[in-house]
Amino acid sequence: MAKSPKLPKPPVPANVDLRDFYFMPLNIIELFNSETWGKANGWESRACINLWCHAWHQVPAGSLPDDDYLLAKWADVAGPGDGTGTTWDKVRLVALRGFKKYSDGRLYHEKLCVKVLEAWARKEEESAKREYDRKRKKKWRAGKDVKDQTSGDAGHAGDGNGTERGPDGDGTRTSALREGEGQGQGEGEGIESPIRSRARQSLRDAKAGPSARSSRGRNGGVDYSKPANRKARWHQKILAEAKATMTDPEFRLFTMGMLSDDPKALAKAEQLDKQMKAAAARGGAQ
């Protein structure tokens, strides 16, 4: 007995769910120029559109169950009583053009799956961005709570606002805590952003003249022998390699994952690091 051919793996991951995407992209020029649309009659074209729309909101998206009863119902073709004699059996061949069966037993439309994966990448990117913002706000609030608590503990020596009182109680000296707050207004409560820090350095260089800029060297005064700076340099190399080897949606998703310490993104970064080291080793051998 001959074995049935092994079916390929589905082109879309099993967890891809676009049921919250109420709009499905449709390339009208590509549709009108397609062989399917050219061969389809009125009922067949109706069945095609209906099945594509149902496939968009299936899980996994872009697929349909291999069930003729459901497909006939979703295609919404007329029955024999309408005078045309149109049935699912008559439109099935054209309505399912482009759909192929895969190893999970479902039917997938190859071109529709391309649109599905593009939409899923945007959804994952937005999800990673929201997760990054959530963690950033949580970290900021935790730091603010600690500072407020420190400020409250220091109130016994001052007026509760971070101002130390002198011997006569007139509050003539300002504490280091208050100074830190003043420097951090609009910059994350005392933590200066790297962009603003570089802007401040550029302003100091402009005032000091060319000699100050040249004295800092090619790294802009950054000491890459320090562990924290070595890690920053490593991140720069990884992002440059990712930008050169990934599509724009993949790179944006990878960047957001790195910022939020996503395990998948970190694993991908390690993989890119190994690739760069292997390439460098091959170059050195030559």
Residue 220 belongs to a domain:
no
269 within domain boundaries: no
pLDDT on residue 179: 40
262 Cβ contact partners less than 8 Å away, ≥ 6 residues apart: 128, 131, 256
Who wins on pLDDT, 63 or 2? 63
> Is residue 219 pLDDT above 70, yes or no?
no
Domain-embedded: residue 14 = yes
Q: Residue 61 falls within a domain, yes or no?
A: yes
The answer to whether residue 51 sits within a structural domain is yes
Q: Is the pLDDT of residue 83 over 90?
A: no
Q: How confident is the model at residue 226 (pLDDT cuts 50, 70, 90)?
A: low
Which amino acid appears at position 185 of this protein? Q
Task: Please report, to the nearest 10 degrees, the dihedral formed by the alpha carbons of residues 120, 121, 123, 128 taken in order.
Answer: 140
Instruction: Give the mean pLDDT of 183-204.
Output: 50
Q: Is residue 215 part of a domain?
A: no
Between 260 and 280, the more confident residue is 280
- Containing domain of residue 94, as a range? 7-140
**Is 91 inside a domain boundary?**
yes
The pLDDT mean for the chain works out to 74
For residue 109, the cross-strand partners are 99
DSSP per-residue letters across 150-169: HHHHGGGGBSSSSEE--TTS
Which of the two residues, 206 and 22, has the higher pLDDT score? 22
Distance of CA 226 to the CA centre of its chain: 31
Pair of tokens at residue 59: 């899980």
**Residue 28 included in any domain:** yes
* The total number of structural domains that make up the chain: 1
Could you tell me the pLDDT band of residue 166, with boundaries at 50, 70 and 90? Answer: very low
Q: Give the C-alpha separation, 139 to 147, whole Å.
A: 12
Average pLDDT for 228-248: 76
pLDDT above 80 for 190:
no
% of the chain at pLDDT higher than 90: 20
Dump pLDDT digits (tens) for 95-154: 999 999 999 999 999 889 999 999 888 888 888 888 888 888 888 888 776 666 666 655
pTM of the predicted model, to two decimals? 0.47
Least confident of 33-42, 115-124, 256-265: 256-265
Tell me the mean pLDDT in the region 217-223. 49
What pLDDT shows up at residue 174? 42
